[in-house]
Amino acid sequence: MGESTQRPLARALLIARLGLFFLVSALSLGVKAGSFEVNPIRIDLSPANRSVAVTVRNSGTDAVVVQVSVSAWSQEEGKDVLTPTNEVLVSPPIMTIPPDREQIVRVGLRRAPDTQRELSYRIFLQEVPPPPQPGFQGLVIALRIGLPIFVQPRQGPAKAALIWNAELSKDNTIRLKVENHGTGHIQISTVELFHPQDKEPIAEQSGLTYVLPGQSREWNLKLRSTRAKKGDNLRMKVSTDAGSIDAQIDLAGP
């Protein structure tokens, strides 16, 4: 075996040994993580119901300290934007929960609901880790849970109004875009596109995605079939928090 062949092999063996060392070290030092549960996992407020109770339960074996904060939630070019706000009140903002006990957190709206459009916020419950015990050497993982808050407008229930566009790209993908022209959010969990001659989807997307009012989202979906071409009329099946969508969509091209 030549020197040029031995060097890459030696580097690979060294990397493997280092990776094994760090893995064993982490296992030997230990990992400590908090454990608490929150119910409900989504908060809906309205002009008639401006506050709600959230239950935080400590399911661990040690007392846990939890701090609560709220951010205004908007979107820009498909990305979430979080801004600190005092428009939503939480009480208490910080708490110590004994093992196997519960704490009620009151969440209330301090401002008036919007006239026509849904308001959106994010509430975060962050564990405050205690100081490490003497002799503890390891990794402490602090649990953080984020929940959406939606506030209905004064003029009736908010609803999403979606416009979809699909465009075939040269790299064997479909650029799928959805625009929300409504007054309320939509949460999309799955999207499937079907060619008229195929029983299985030719492209799909999964994963929870929120589209707030006046915002849009895009996906680049990899094609599983070479059958799709510009001008095809595809079937689109979408699962959302407002129900299922089963519609036809024309495939545009570059």
The DSSP line for 75-92 is EETTEEEEEE-SSEEEES
- Domain assignment present for residue 11? The answer is no
Please give the model's pTM, rounded to 2 decimal places: 0.81
Same domain flag for 147 and 174: no
Q: What is the domain count for the chain?
A: 2
Q: Rounded to whole angstroms, how far apart are CA atoms 46 and 112?
A: 10
Structural domain ending residue among the three candidates 115, 132, 151: 151
- Domain assignment present for residue 4? The answer is no
- Domain assignment present for residue 36? The answer is yes
pLDDT in tens, 67-102: 999 999 999 988 999 999 999 999 999 999 999 999
What CATH number corresponds to the domain at position 67? 2.60.40.10
pLDDT in tens, 129-180: 877 777 767 777 889 999 999 999 999 899 999 999 999 998 889 999 999 9
DSSP string, 189-202: EEEEEE-TT-SS-S
Strands 144-151 and 43-45: parallel
DSSP letter assigned to residue 99: T
Same domain flag for 201 and 137: no
Same domain flag for 234 and 170: yes
Separation in Å, CA 19 to CA 14, 138, 197: 9, 17, 49
What CATH number corresponds to the domain at position 194? 2.60.40.1930
Same domain flag for 35 and 96: yes
Which residues are registered as beta bridge partners of 236? 193, 247
Which residue reads 């119901």 in tokens? 49
Does residue 13 sit in helix, strand or coil? Answer: helix
Separation in Å, CA 137 to CA 26, 35, 233: 9, 20, 60
User: What is the residue range of 184's domain?
Assistant: 162-252
Same domain flag for 108 and 146: yes
pLDDT over 90 percentage in the chain: 72
Same domain flag for 170 and 136: no
